[in-house]
Structure 1
């Protein structure tokens, strides 16, 4: 499922990854390069499988670990109210 941030969430890519600002409460989130890759794939319309594929290709990690990382990040972004 594609991912989209709420209207109150600003994003900026940095030299290290991505920074998210929740304008509702002023809270910043910093995404590392792997989380940035996951978010990029999902925001471009890819699903969680495509995001896991991208992690496996980019970082040569095992498939189960990639799937777990994607699921954990998506759950945290949705639980925090940053993404739908």
Structure 2
């Protein structure tokens, strides 16, 4: 994992695939790495983007599933 000005870039060393996350996705990953749960990370996004309550929860869950499927995040 490498942080850049635009977000975070992951490299799966086994497959050679790169994943680049934007600022919002990077914030979710940082929150999860700091010990936040998926639900609390979604709550934080809801606080940052008050009009997107349902979408924030859905987006965080979708991101986590994608990262798990790519073997970049443990279940």
TM-score, scaled relative to structure 2: 0.89
Aligned residues: 74
Distance 1:31 1:39 in 2: 9
Aligned to 2:64: 74
Structure 1 unaligned residues grouped into runs of 5+: 1-10
Matched, 1:37 2:27: yes
Matched, 1:25 2:15: yes
Higher relative contact order (CA 8 A, sep 6+): 1
1:59, distance to aligned residue in structure 2 (A): 3.1
Residue pair 1:55, 1:61 contacting (<8 A) in 2 also: no
Matched, 1:47 2:74: no
TM-score, scaled relative to structure 1: 0.81
Structure 2 unaligned residues grouped into runs of 5+: none
Greater fraction of residues in helix: 2
User: Which one of 42, 56, 65 corresponds to residue 55 of structure 2?
Assistant: 65
1:53, distance to aligned residue in structure 2 (A): 1.6
